[in-house]
Amino acid sequence: MKTRVRFGASDVVAVVVALLIGCCVAYVDSRATWDDAGVTAAALLVVAGLLAMARSRAWWLIGLAVGVPVVAFNVAIYGRFSSAMAVGFSLLGAGIGASIRRVLGRAVA
């Protein structure tokens, strides 16, 4: 019986890239002069979706890695959880991206 590796090196790289991009988005969102939550939400949705399309097996890890830094920065700087919806937007984007990848994979095969 063959054993299948659940997560490989490319999945780990995708999660690390997601974490780095999530930290960049979180940095911009945590600035005092930034007050556009819609742009932040769209950025999280698109970034998580694109990365999850690349590695659909780790979609939920990618979604968390993109969204959690936004909440962490806001808690660390302001002591508020007001950006907790960021995790929801990034998980939604990652789920959509993984779904598109699976649908396109079936259509090609």
Tens digits of residue pLDDT in 68-98: 999 999 999 989 888 899 999 999 999 999 9
CB atoms under 10 Å from CB of 16, counted, come to: 11
CB 25 within 8 A of CB 44: yes
Average pLDDT, the chain: 90
pTM beyond 0.75, yes or no: yes
Q: Which one, of 74, 97, 100, 108, lies nearest residue 18 by Cα?
A: 97
For residue 11, is pLDDT > 90?
A: no
